[in-house]
Every structure is written in C-alpha cells, then in structure tokens.
C-alpha cells in the first residue's frame, strides 16, 4: 500500500473516495461540525445535518455519490464522536474505519482529510497506522478469500514548512503498522501450521529480511543451559521446542542499557496433563502472541533504527499431554537453580518465561519486558480492554505507560507485593507454579519476578487483549497485535529515559 500526503483543498482532490470527519460538538443534542474547512463540502453536508442524517456519532457513515462541486467521485462523512474527546487515538481508529469501509465497497484507494487542529506529523503517522492495521483481514484459510487490499491512500494535510518530517512520520507509521500486522498474522495461524519450529523459522526469516542477528536453538542447547522449567513444558510434545534469540546491536549505541524483550511462544496450549476443557480450547493457538509481539516489535526496531541495544528471546513450544509429559507434582529446576513444584501443568507460560528471563539477563539485558497470554485471571480482572502491567520498578513502568498514551493502547497497572508470595510457596520446593484462585494474574507475575533478580522489569499480561472477541469498525474480530506499537515507541525513546 502506498500512503502519501498532499496539502490540498479537499474539494479539489481527485479520488475514488474522499473521507471527511464530522465531530459532534453538542452535549445533549448532536451539533455536527465538519473537521474540514471547505465551503463546497460544507454545502453538501448542510442538508444531511439539517435532516439529522449526519450527527457525528462515532464511526457513523453517510455516503454521497457524484457530489456536486467536488472533484472526488464519492464522499464518505465519517462520524468522529464528541469533539472535546477527539484526539490522535480517535483519528487512528477512524482512519482504520475509513479503510475498512472502503474495502467493504470494493474501493481500493481513498483520500482522508486530517483535522486541521492536530499536529501534522503525529496525525499523519497515526492515520497511516490506522489505515494499514485496518486493511488487515483474517480470512487466510478461506477458499473464497476476497483479497481486497487497499492500494493507495492520500492524507490531505495543512501546508507545512517541513514536508520531509511528514513523509518520515508516514513511513514510520507504515512500518509500525506492518509490524503489528505481522504479529497478528502469526497469532492467527493454527497450531498445525505454526509449530514451534515454524514459528522460529518465521522469526529467522524476519531477521534475515531486516538485518537482525538471529540464533535458533533446540532442546540440546536448552539442556546445556539447564533450562529445566522450559523443558518441563516441552517434554510432553512431539514437536521440538525452539529458543530464539534476536539481536539488534547498532555499533554506535552505548554498551548499556540493553533492553531485553521476552515472549511466551506456546504454539498450542492444551493444558498438558492438567488438560483444559474442550470448550474454547481452539483459541489456545494464540498462546504464542507474546512471541509474535516481539517478532513484530523487533522488525520495526530493525527498520526504524533507534540508537539502543535490544535483544529478544522467544520461548517456543507446545503444551501437550502424553506419556512423556510433566505430571502435576513433578519438580523442575529453572536455569537459575530455583526448584519449582509444578502443581498445574496448565500454568506453563510462567515456566517457559522463567528460563527466558534468566537467559535474557545472562545475555546482558539490563532492562526486561515480557509479553505473554499468561492468565485467565487477567481477563477476569481487566476484561478485554486493558493489558495488565506488572513491574518491580515504578519509574520504568511509568515511562512505559507514557508510550502507551501516545500509541493509544490501553494498559493498566496492577499491584504486586510480597504478601502475594505466600500463595506460591511450596512445601517441598522453592516455589510452586500456581497460587490458587484469587489474584491469579498477580501470583503469576510474582512467580516471574523470582527470575528477574534486581533488573527493572515489566510484565505485560495480554491474555484478554491479544484476541479481539468482537469486530470493531477499524479492526476485524481476531488477533489485535496489542502492545507492539507501545513496545516500539518505548524502544525508540529508551535512549532518552533516565536510568
Ligand atoms: N494460556 C493460558 C492463559 C489464557 C487464558 C490465555 C485465556 C488466553 C485466554 C495459560 O497458560 C493458562 O492456562 N493459565 C491458567 C493458569 C492456572 C492453571 C493457574 C489459567 O489462567 O487458568
Ligand atoms: Mn496454560
Ligand atoms: Zn498458556
């Protein structure tokens, strides 16, 4: 897809489809206001507003064909919601909604008028992100796949002094969104098409394309490294596990800090011997979303080239029951020597991440962020709309949350403190892998904390948010790629953050 910007008068733009945003300024009664100061277009909107056909309600759509006095073949008035709530986050969604609405009408190119009051480069980046992520489809395996892709979009902007800055922002937006889409396309893959071996190959292919260093290891290396926790999960599966190390090491970057990004890559989570109920088990193909998140993030980092070292570890395996599988009650030893009593083999994510976190530190990571579809409990706590954020370092987490505000990804700080540790004390080992029913997302985070030592660390529990249960106007039902944009933004700003 090509995305360009053009400082033009909207009504003079020749296009298949001109998208104009309409906000609602009214408190009780809708008072629609066009977010484009163009006389010809306002004239066209006036009767629609008078008839209450156009209210500005969020993602409302009103079409005009062959509009008079306008060069475009069609106009789409797209409701932008309340005017005083409108910001970059809404623009990103609306750009996505514009792309999806165009697709539904088999229109492959369109122009979108950006509101004048937004800062142009930031608005252009967000619009580009929205359009590219909105263009993503989930029907990969359908024989009647439509393959209706947007080929071209033009952002109508205010004249700016620095045109190059706008161009760069759009290019960055496209890279970020393509990377988020890569994450989504991986999460979408079923377990039989995306085994641990294939997931590792996909990571390697991305690294080769973008110039990252990539190492892929099997169980021999994992035994050598004494990754007993990770191996205890892998041992039940016919599929070989894979440990992936991706490195971005710009020559000019200082030796420290090194950002470590660790992803849970369970390509299918049956629960193992503590097998899950059949209902909904098919969804556990997206239990590798954490690893997919890091693949997408590393891609964008490789292309956007921030001056900071980043190293990423993916812990890829299946969680399956078999005669070789770990039994509840078994004890495993993680890489740092800690003994773990495995109470429930379905709490496998924390086991693979335990070794992943230790290894990231061994490889020199000074700051750690992991992403994982770790617990059903985080879905109980935060539902489908907020990623759970856990940390052992307030400043580090605060800085990260600033990134989430810029990217519009909703995340919510959750507490961790030593009181919860009692729940994961074992009678026979150093720690056990489940903490009972209450505060399950927190006790899972407490478990991970045992493996980060003194390093600043953030844990993102994306179990409720990595898969959209309901389609939105800007995004279809399915994998969301949540946290990719925030991790990219954070990495790009990491050099400026006081440590
Ligand atoms: N992969 C699941 C968590 C999950 C749940 C992801 C729902 C996405 C949607 C994880 O491995 C798991 O099974 N967790 C257990 C832990 C329990 C046994 C302590 C859970 O949350 O039920
Ligand atoms: Mn599980
Ligand atoms: Zn899992």
At residue 497, the pLDDT reads 66
- Phi first, then psi, for residue 49 (nearest 5°) are -70, -45
Same domain (yes/no): 187, 62: no
At residue 358, the pLDDT reads 99
CA-CA distance, 369 to 102, in Å (whole number)?
37
- The answer to the question of residue 140 being in a domain is no
Same domain (yes/no): 97, 221: no
* Of 276, 338, 410, 413, catalytic: 276
- The answer to the question of residue 295 being in a domain is yes
Same domain (yes/no): 129, 232: no
Tokens of 122: 């930031």
Question: 25: domain CATH number?
Answer: 3.40.220.10
pTM listed for this prediction = 0.98
The residues pairing with 390 across neighbouring beta strands, listed in sequence order, are 459
CA dist 344 → 28, 34, 220, 351, 435 (Å): 53, 57, 25, 11, 10
Pairing of strands 32-34, 18-24: antiparallel
Angle between helices 484-493 and 289-304 (to 10 degrees): 40
Q: Whose CA is nearest to atom 14 of ligand 1?
A: 375
Same domain (yes/no): 362, 475: yes
236 CA distance to ligand 2 centroid (A)?
Answer: 13
274 CA distance to ligand 1 centroid (A)?
Answer: 11
The domain boundary, picked from 116, 135, 154, lies at: 135
Same domain (yes/no): 126, 251: no
Q: Among 346, 371, 372, 420, which is best to mutate for testing ligand 1, by the most ligand atoms less than 8 A from CB?
A: 346
The domain boundary, picked from 135, 152, 171, lies at: 135
Closest to 17 measured CA to CA, from 54, 63, 68, 80? 63
Same domain (yes/no): 290, 382: yes
CA-CA distance, 455 to 368, in Å (whole number)?
7
Give, for all 499 residues of the chain, the pLDDT tens digit: 999 999 999 999 999 999 999 999 998 899 999 999 999 999 999 999 999 999 999 999 999 999 999 999 999 999 999 999 999 999 999 999 999 999 999 999 999 999 999 999 999 999 999 999 999 999 999 998 876 899 999 999 999 999 999 999 999 999 999 999 999 999 999 999 999 999 999 999 999 999 999 999 999 999 999 999 999 999 999 999 999 999 999 999 999 999 999 999 999 999 999 999 999 999 999 999 999 999 999 999 999 999 999 999 999 999 999 999 999 999 999 999 999 999 999 999 999 999 999 999 999 999 999 999 999 999 999 999 999 999 999 999 999 999 999 999 999 999 999 999 999 999 999 999 999 999 999 999 999 999 999 999 999 999 999 999 999 999 999 999 999 999 999 999 997 666 6
The Cβ of residue 483 has, within 10 Å, a number of other Cβ atoms equal to: 31
Same domain (yes/no): 277, 194: yes
Question: 471: domain CATH number?
Answer: 3.40.630.10
Give the range of the structural domain holding residue 17, as residue numbers without chain letter.
2-135
Tokens of 281: 């088990």
Active site annotation includes 247: no
- The answer to the question of residue 313 being in a domain is yes
- Phi first, then psi, for residue 260 (nearest 5°) are -105, 125
- Phi first, then psi, for residue 420 (nearest 5°) are -70, -20
At residue 489, the pLDDT reads 98
249 CA distance to ligand 2 centroid (A)?
Answer: 33
Find where tokens 């989430």 sit: 404
Rg of the chain taking only CA atoms, in angstroms: 24
Same domain (yes/no): 6, 101: yes
Same domain (yes/no): 365, 293: yes
The domain total for the chain is: 2
- The answer to the question of residue 164 being in a domain is no
- The answer to the question of residue 168 being in a domain is no
Say how many residues make up the chain.
499
- Kindly report the CA angle at 476 between 470 and 477, in degrees rounded to 5? 35
Active site annotation includes 413: no
Same domain (yes/no): 382, 240: yes
Give the number of the ligand closest to the Cα of residue 467. Answer: 1
HSE-CB of 431 using CA atoms within 13 angstroms: 26
HSE-CB of 297 using CA atoms within 13 angstroms: 33
Same domain (yes/no): 51, 118: yes
> Which residues line ion ligand 3, judged by CB < 5 Å?
266, 269, 287, 349
Which numbered atom of ligand 1 lies nearest the CA of 377? 21
Region class of 86: left (phi > 0), else alpha (psi between -120 and 50), else beta: beta
SS (H, E, C) the chain: CEEEEECCCHHHCCCCCEEEEEEECCCCCCCEEECCCCHHHHHHHHHHHHCCCCCCCCCCEEEEECCCCCCCCEEEEEEEEEHHHCCHHHHHHHHHHHHHHHHHCCCCEEEEECCCCCCHHHHHHHHHHHHHHHCCCCCCCCCCCCCCCCCEEEEECCCCCCHHHHHHHHHHHHHHHHHHHHHHHHHHCCCCCCCHHHHHHHHHHHHHHHCCEEEEECHHHHHHCCCHHHHHHHCCCCCCCEEEEEEECCCCCCCCCEEEEEEEEEEEECCCCCCCCCCCHHHHHHHHHHHHHHHHHHHHHHHHCCCCEEEEEEEEEEECCCCCCCCCCCEEECCCCCEEECCCCCCCHHHHHHHHHHHHHHCCCCEEEEEECCCHHHHHHHCCCCEEEEECCHHHHHHHHHHHHHHCCCEEECCCCHHHHHHHCCCCCCEECCCCCCCHHHHHHHHHHCCCCCCCEEEEECCCCCEECCCECCECCEECCCCHHHHHHHHHHHHHCCC
Same domain (yes/no): 471, 392: yes
Query: CB of 24 within 8 A of CB of 55?
Result: yes
The Cβ of residue 217 has, within 10 Å, a number of other Cβ atoms equal to: 17
Give the number of the ligand closest to the Cα of residue 270. Answer: 2
At residue 145, the pLDDT reads 85
Which numbered atom of ligand 1 lies nearest the CA of 349? 11
Order of strands, sheet of 339-341, starting from the edge strand that comes earlier in the sequence: 331-333, 339-341, 431-432
At residue 45, the pLDDT reads 98
Own/partner long-range contacts of 411-415 (Cβ < 8 Å, ≥24 apart) = 411/386, 411/387, 411/460, 411/483, 411/486, 412/382, 412/386, 412/387, 412/388, 413/389, 414/378, 414/381, 414/382, 414/388, 414/389, 414/390, 414/441, 414/442, 414/445, 414/461, 415/442
CA-CA distance, 301 to 467, in Å (whole number)?
23
- The answer to the question of residue 163 being in a domain is no
Q: Whose CA is nearest to atom 17 of ligand 1?
A: 347
Query: CB of 460 within 8 A of CB of 378?
Result: no
- The answer to the question of residue 13 being in a domain is yes
- The answer to the question of residue 398 being in a domain is yes
> Which residues line ion ligand 2, judged by CB < 5 Å?
269, 346, 348
Query: Ligand 1: which residues within 6 Å by Cβ?
Result: 269, 287, 344, 346-349, 373-377, 379, 434, 440, 463
Tokens of 173: 């937006």
């Amino acid at each position: 897809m090509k995305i360009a910007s053009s400082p033009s008068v909207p009504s003079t733009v020749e296009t298949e489809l001109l998208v104009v945003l309409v906000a609602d300024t009214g408190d009780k009664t809708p008072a629609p206001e066009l977010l484009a100061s163009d006389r010809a277009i306002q004239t066209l909107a006036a009767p629609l507003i008078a008839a209450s056909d156009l209210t500005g309600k969020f993602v409302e759509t009103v079409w005009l064909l062959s509009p008079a006095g306008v060069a475009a073949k069609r106009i789409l008035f797209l409701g932008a919601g309340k005017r005083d709530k409108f910001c970059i986050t809404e623009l990103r969604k609306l750009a996505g909604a514009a792309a999806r609405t165009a697709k539904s009408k088999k229109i492959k190119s369109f122009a979108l008028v950006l509101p004048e009051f937004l800062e142009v480069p930031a608005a252009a980046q967000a619009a580009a992100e929205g359009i590219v992520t909105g263009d993503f489809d989930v029907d990969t395996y359908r024989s009647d796949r439509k393959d209706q892709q947007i080929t071209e979009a033009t952002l109508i902007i205010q004249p700016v002094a620095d045109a190059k800055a706008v161009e760069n922002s759009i290019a960055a937006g496209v890279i970020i969104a393509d990377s988020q889409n890569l994450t989504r396309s991986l999460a979408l893959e079923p377990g039989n098409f995306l085994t641990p071996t294939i997931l590792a190959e996909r990571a390697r292919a991305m690294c080769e394309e973008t110039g990252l260093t990539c190492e892929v290891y099997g169980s021999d290396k994992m035994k050598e490294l004494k990754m007993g926790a990770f191996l205890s999960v892998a041992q039940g599966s016919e599929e070989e596990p894979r440990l992936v190390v991706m490195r971005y090491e710009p020559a000019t970057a200082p030796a420290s800090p090194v950002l470590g990004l660790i992803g849970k890559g369970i390509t299918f989570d049956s629960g193992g011997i503590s097998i899950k109920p059949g209902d909904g088990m098919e969804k556990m193909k997206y239990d590798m979303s954490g690893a997919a998140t890091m693949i997408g993030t590393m891609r964008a980092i490789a292309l956007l080239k921030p001056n900071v070292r980043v190293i990423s570890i993916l812990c890829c395996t299946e969680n399956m029951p078999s005669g070789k599988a770990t039994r509840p009650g078994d004890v495993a030893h993680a890489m740092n020597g800690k003994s773990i009593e495995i109470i429930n083999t379905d709490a496998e994510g924390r086991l693979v991440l335990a070794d992943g976190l230790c290894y990231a530190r061994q490889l020199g990571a000074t700051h750690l962020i992991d992403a994982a579809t770790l617990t059903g409990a985080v879905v109980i706590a935060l539902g489908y709309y907020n990623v759970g954020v856990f940390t052992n370092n307030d400043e580090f987490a605060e800085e990260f949350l600033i990134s989430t505000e810029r990217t519009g990804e909703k995340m919510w700080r959750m507490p961790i403190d030593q009181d919860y540790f009692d729940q994961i004390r074992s009678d026979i080992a150093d720690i056990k892998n489940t903490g009972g029913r209450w505060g399950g997302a927190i006790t899972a985070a407490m478990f991970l904390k045992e493996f980060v030592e003194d390093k600043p660390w953030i844990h993102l529990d994306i179990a409720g948010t990595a898969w959209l249960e309901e389609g939105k106007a800007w995004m279809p039902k399915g994998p969301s790629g949540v946290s990719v944009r925030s991790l990219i933004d954070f990495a790009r700003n990491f050099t400026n953050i006081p440590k």
